Amino acid sequence: MSDPLLISIFHYAVSTVGTIANLLVLGMILTKTPRNLKCYSVLLFSQTLLQGSTCFTSGILFSRLIPRDFSVFFTMSGPAKLLGSYKIVFDLVAIMLHGHAHYCIMLAVCFSFRNIISMISLQTEFFMIQLSLKRPKLQYFYSQTPLFDPSSARELLAPGGPSYIFSDDVIVTGIVSVLEPGAGIGIIWVCAVIQFVGRLMYRTLAANIGHMSDKTRSVHKEIIRGLIFQACLPALYSFAVSAYVIGQLNILSLVALEYIPYMSGEIIVMTSPFLTLYFVHPYRRSISRVVSNKETT
């Protein structure tokens, strides 16, 4: 079965725009970051590099998630299949999933860094950062699960009809059981860090607002506002969860629903760099100058 045309166009458009936007932000960080944002730019660079690699790998994989009973299957029908190596494609999938999972973790670290700049207790702050970074190791330990080999996955999906019969170049695999104890609780740790640090940061800025210069206050305000908008983006994962639950419970059987889980993540990592370009003033100013110069010429 070939991928639906409209879904394919949307997927490649989002992935391409996201990759280019993240590369643009990386260029801005390297060339347009003022001295007072040098430390914070290290976090921004890491986050943007993560988003860019996620956009790129997601684009060349073009993944589809197919729930079946207590199992879930994955197909990769993008250009990555031309590599002809199951191992390489599996490594690319790992990079993509790592990026989606660590987007929220990097947001938590960015919130924590801005809180450190606001002079909150360093001991408490570093503890929260370490908790965010070590959580994936714990989740990985508790959520390992065996995979179907490609031939078994194809045999189990084939009875579903023509939409589930794939050509030999499409890579098909799956997780034997989704009933893993640690697979669904990882995001709680990250949300807790963001909520905790966000409240402390608000209180600190409110208490010290009289001692800050207008420039410092403006920088804090814009960056934190951008972080808040970026922290709202993972709400799009609710569409991924809804599509997965609908398929897992056999409420509705639509091929289009099986593309939504990964596409939700693609939209998130595509939108995030635009928020960075807008809310970090030096980058927005640089873009505005380029645009205004082109208009005058």
End-to-end Cα, the chain, rounded Å: 50
255 near 248, Cβ under 8 Å? no
pLDDT in tens, 20-50: 999 999 999 999 988 877 777 877 888 898 8
Q: How far apart, in whole angstroms, are the C-alpha atoms of residue 130 and residue 227?
A: 20
Distance CA 77, CA 169 (A): 8
Residue type present at position 175: I
d(CA 29, CA 103): 18
Higher pLDDT, 123 or 42: 42
Q: How many domains does the chain have?
A: 1
- The whole-chain average pLDDT of the chain stands at 76
Q: Using 50, 70 and 90 to split pLDDT, how confident is the model at 120? A: very low
C-alpha distances (whole Å) from 249 to each of 99, 104, 106, 145, 175 are: 28, 27, 33, 21, 17
Do 86 and 154 meet the contact criterion of CB atoms below 8 Å apart? Answer: no
pLDDT at 221 exceeding the cut of 80: no
Beta 171-175 vs 71-76: how paired, if at all? antiparallel
Q: At what angle do helices 260-279 and 237-248 cross, to 10 degrees?
A: 180
Please, which residues have CB within 8 angstroms of residue 85's CB and are 6 or more apart in sequence? Answer: none
Closest CA to 231 of 267, 277, 268: 268
- What value, to the nearest 5°, has the Cα angle with vertex 10 and ends 61 and 24? 75
Q: What is the CATH number of the domain that holds 85?
A: 1.20.1070.10
Closest CA to 160 of 288, 66, 256, 241: 66
What pLDDT, on the 0 to 100 scale, is given for residue 259? 93
pLDDT in tens, 282-297: 888 888 888 877 655 5
* 189 pLDDT more than 90: no
DSSP-derived letter for residue 3 is P
| Domain span including residue 28 | 5-296
- Output the pLDDT for position 133: 52
Residues facing residue 72 across a β-bridge:
67, 175
C-alpha–C-alpha distance, residues 168 and 86, integer Å: 12
Band (pLDDT 50/70/90 cuts) for residue 271 is: very high
